[in-house]
């Protein structure tokens, strides 16, 4: 199994980490302007077009930046409850329960099973 996060769309809500039963995700800081990956935000298998380069998807920012639901959105750092960026550091452990796909408000998780079938976030 392979799991990655489309970094530009990740709000940092931490829902994925909270629901995953096998600890696939870790939250990382958003780095610096000079080095967006300074804190390991690109430590998963996201392809080049989905890597963190310091730019937030404008549509996702407009959708979530002013939502008050107890979770930080687009914060630089994680405070233990939210903030930062999600990184699928342990994708090979995924059991395809799909909990993260339902809970990912950024609609930005892609899972590929061992047969090559892709599963994308289905948050509505
Ligand atoms: S689908 Fe995989 S990565 Fe997502 S919550 Fe379930 S085990 Fe974790
Ligand atoms: S649930 Fe989605 S938007 Fe929220 S931190 Fe995880 S990958 Fe990012």
Pick from 18, 23, 41, 108 the residue to mutate for probing ligand 2's pocket: most ligand atoms within 8 Å of its CB: 108
Q: Please tell me the residue having the least CA distance from ligand 1 atom 7.
A: 94
Identify the pLDDT of residue 44. 98
In whole angstroms, give the CA distance from residue 32 to residue 74. 14
- Residue ranges per domain, the chain? 2-120
Identify the pLDDT of residue 63. 95
Chain segment 2-42, per-residue pLDDT in tens: 999 999 999 999 999 999 999 999 999 999 999 999 999 99
Chain segment 70-121, per-residue pLDDT in tens: 999 999 999 999 999 999 999 999 999 999 999 999 999 999 999 999 999 9
Return mean pLDDT, the chain: 96
Q: How far is CA 20 from CA 48, 54, 60, 67, 88, in A?
A: 25, 26, 23, 23, 11
Instruction: Note the residue count of the chain.
Output: 124
Average pLDDT of span 42-58:
97
Identify the pLDDT of residue 123. 79
Measured in Å, residue 114 CA sits from the centre of ligand 2 at 23
Measured in Å, residue 73 CA sits from the centre of ligand 1 at 21
Average pLDDT of span 46-61:
97
Q: What is the pTM of this model?
A: 0.96
Proximal ligand: closest to the CA of 103: 2
């Amino acid at each position: 199994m392979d799991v990655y996060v489309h970094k530009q769309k990740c709000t940092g809500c931490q829902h994925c980490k909270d629901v995953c039963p096998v600890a696939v995700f870790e939250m990382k800081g958003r780095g610096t302007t000079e080095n967006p990956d300074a804190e390991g935000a690109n430590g998963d298998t996201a392809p080049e077009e989905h890597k963190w380069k310091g730019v937030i998807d404008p549509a996702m920012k407009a959708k979530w930046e002013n939502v008050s639901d107890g979770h930080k959105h687009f914060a630089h750092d994680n405070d233990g409850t939210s903030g930062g960026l999600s990184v699928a550091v342990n994708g090979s452990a995924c059991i395809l329960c799909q909990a993260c796909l339902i809970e990912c408000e950024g609609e930005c998780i892609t899972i590929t099973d061992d047969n090559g079938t892709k599963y994308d976030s289905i948050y509505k």
